[in-house]
Amino acid sequence: MRIIKVKNYDEVSVKTANMILGQVNLKPDAVLGLATGGSPVGAYKKIVEAYNNGEVDFSGVTTINLDEYRGIKRNHEQSYWSFMQENLFKHVNVREDHIFIPNGENLNSEEVCREYDKIIENAGGIDMQLLGIGLDGHIGFNEPADHFEKNTHCVELTESTIEANKRFFESKDEVPRQAYTMGILPIVQAKKVIMIANGKNKADIIKKAFTGPVTPEVPASILQMHPDFTLIADEDALSEI
């Protein structure tokens, strides 16, 4: 496990973007596992800047996102499909048929999950997985539980996750209560994993996840066992370790 400590969120974003750009330039047909939420937005902006400067080519890249809300329309402004389009995909030359996000419109959970696991398998696994971390230690939508869910599954979102995500919706009542998420297995099988963390509010969970025991009650703690895991965090997020 490597920890890269930087001063602020902008430096977190620069370091993260540089690692992703390095992966794509090293392997033009790389499979990138991508994340949504507030944490990666800055990195995506830096990646778009690099693309506009002719520093990277995404035409051979495959992207596999971590998760999507269940029961949300693809074109809903708060779907993760829309998030990725707005923050990255429509600004770079990634092929649309190489973009994979769970189908939130399909309410048949078993079918969605089976198909998504097949997509990951057919892609040959993930070369570099990008993650944030929830205040309860979730990665993707792998919430605290009594066991690690290996494969893609439908999850009931916890109250803390709903509370954290309500800022993106007009009211808390509009936040979906379920989501489809990639399981723990393809995350830990990714060749490289990068986690972004910033802000004082992440300090406690960073301490629990990376200095405490490996437990499904803190899903991110499993990354202590990954052979090539990098945590990129600012001083505030690392203030308790």
Query: Across the chain, what does the average pLDDT equal?
Result: 95
Would you kindly state where each structural domain of the chain is located, as residue ranges? 2-238
| Catalytic residue check, 121 | no
- For helices 41-52 and 80-87, the axis angle rounded to 10 degrees is 40
Model pLDDT for residues 70-106, shown as the tens digit of each residue: 999 999 989 999 999 999 999 999 999 999 999 999 9
pLDDT at 167 over 90: no
Q: How confident is the model at residue 172 (pLDDT cuts 50, 70, 90)?
A: confident
Give the per-residue pLDDT at 214.
Answer: 97
Q: What is the DSSP annotation of the chain?
A: -EEEEESSHHHHHHHHHHHHHHHHHH-TT-EEEE--SSTTHHHHHHHHHHHHTT----TT-EEEESEEETT--TTSTTSHHHHHHHHTGGGS---GGGEE---TT---HHHHHHHHHHHHHHTTS-SEEEE---TT--BTTB---SS---S-EEEEPPHHHHHHHGGGSSSGGGS-SEEEE--HHHHHHSSEEEEEE-SGGGHHHHHHHHHS--BTTBGGGGGGG-TTEEEEEETTTTTT-
When pLDDT is cut at 50, 70 and 90, the band that residue 15 belongs to is: very high
pLDDT of residue 93: 97
- Active site residue: 143, 149, 234, 236, which one? 143
Q: What is the pTM of this model?
A: 0.93
Whether 138 sits among the annotated catalytic residues: the reply is: yes
Q: Residue 218: its pLDDT value, please?
A: 97
For residue 56, pLDDT over 90 is answered with yes
Distance CA 219, CA 226 (A): 13
Share of residues in the chain with pLDDT > 70 (%): 100
* CA distance linking residue 223 with residue 60, whole number of Å: 28
Confidence class for position 138, pLDDT limits 50, 70, 90: very high
Q: Of 68, 138, 226, 236, which residue is the catalytic one?
A: 138
Known active-site residue 117: no
What is the b/e burial string over 147-161, where b = at least 16 CB atoms within 10 angstroms of the residue's CB? ebbeebbbbebbeeb
- d(Cα 64, Cα 211) in Å, to the nearest integer? 29
Per-residue pLDDT, 233 = 97
207 with 241: CB under 8 angstroms? yes
The pair of structure tokens assigned to 187 is 């995350």
Report the CATH number of the 2-238 domain: 3.40.50.1360
In the chain, what is the straight-line distance between the N-terminal and C-terminal CA atoms, in Å? Answer: 14
Write down the pLDDT at residue 157. 83
| Residue-level pLDDT at 175 | 86
Residue 161 is predicted with a pLDDT of: 79
Annotation says 143 is catalytic = yes
Give the pLDDT band of residue 48 (cuts 50, 70, 90).
very high
For residue 170, what pLDDT is reported? 82
Beta-ladder partners of 196: 232
Confidence of residue 159 (pLDDT cuts 50, 70, 90): confident
